Chains A and B, each alone.
Chain A
Amino acid sequence: MSPRLLLLRLLRRWHARIGFAAMLFFLMLAVTGLALNHGQALGLDGRAVHAGWLARWYGIKTEPPRRAFRSEHHVLIAANGRWLLDGRASGQTLPEPLGLIEFADNFAVASETALYLFREDGELIEKLERGALPGAPVQAIGSSVRGIVLRTASGVFTSADALSWRLLTQRSVLWSAPAELSAAQRQACEEALTPGVSVQQLLLDLHSGRFAGRYGPVFVDLLAVLLAVVSLTGAWLFLVPRLHRGRH
């Protein structure tokens, strides 16, 4: 057998071996690269993956939920900047709640800097911040016959619609207070309240190899070299027989 034929056979064998061995990794690089290239259109910025193992892998410190706010029809548990409202976890980062109350057919959750009004089915009616609040920071939320009651540093205010506020004179207010969660309840909602890792960040780390730690990028460098080898051997296997045929 001629040396040229031997070389071609050797190249074909290694081209196939490398291509097959690295197929999964090449596919992963292709898919993550494509997704990152169209991240904006796919809305990857605003999405996050919430999983306990992923948070631990990224070294994100997680706090187990400890307290719940309950009204007659609603329950709010919060931890790690996430809310579990009537069993539905929030996608976005939200502040530490101070309390939960029901008024008319709606309910409201207060944090130090904002008041969230929800319809009975959990749809957000409005988020009120500094300018729309009677005072800030909010210290507590309660309910009275007049509607929502907020205790702030500048006084206790009430409103029926959260549009206009007035100083509360009568003092019969039912203030929202947290209740401790049992160990079983904590465990039940811990996973749902795990902090998330942005999908875009996750794809970027998978693409660059940083997801696998300090040696990950080295592995991706090796894949890049292998991809170059596969490309060059592929070009050789395609061109050389044709050039050879052309000469005869």
Chain B
Amino acid sequence: MKKGRTGQSPIGTALVYVLCILLTILSIFPFWTMLMNATRSTYEIQERAVALLPSTYFMNNLNILLGKAFNPWRGFMNSMIVAGCATLLAVYFSTLTAYAIVIYDWKLKRAFFTFIMAVMMIPQTVVTIGFYQMIYKVGLQNNFLPLILPSIAASSTVFFMKQYMEPSLSKEIIQSARIDGAGEFFTFNRIALPIMKPAIATQGIFCFVNTWNALFMPMVLLTKKEMYTMPIMVSLLKGDIYRTEYGSIYLGLTLTVLPLFVVYFLLSKYIIAGVALGSVKG
């Protein structure tokens, strides 16, 4: 009896491992198949669609892929511009807004914070049509600005920054900077921002990945092929032009996820920690 309470039964533990390994296979299998098939010919894929080892048709697939509408380099650069700029704006201005709430005492401060929490709950869907019409009227479709600028008001990022800033940034430091004659902006940029670095890194990763992956707004606003971001570029793979070029389709998909894999496996520690802190809105 007692043994069952102090130690876990080995069979139970074994079952847990089996399930975890099955789930690992489930996570990896689709991407593995994608990687392998990216190097295989259409004929090979039609003969046997699952392969554990690569073949030799990588260059061939690449030539077919690049010979048509799909332009991964363009998509990569466009996504880099949009996601990079949006991330910079989001982390800088969110930290600034959090600073306004944490450091200063102003009348509407509490109401403002409640308001930010309410904004987090507004679903994107009710913004879309009005946003599109507004952008259309000022003629900014096929422009990256409407995809970048809204990130100045990233409510969930502000929320996270505020939660992080409260215990880690003491008012005394700010006070002493003031006594030394530092201006308010200078104090923020030189003292608050460096202290916030860990939070900025975590939030930066999530902002970047979220903007990088966004499909709806870019698809609605960008109609020119040379403006396509990576996720819209993906939809080109489904068109008739690649109908039977299975290897090329898998290769195209591989190219769109490669940057994310690199980011993920370099920073997975911080990403997992960030999720645990409740920083991502699902």
Q: Do A and B come from one complex?
A: no
Binding site for B on A (CB under 8 A): none
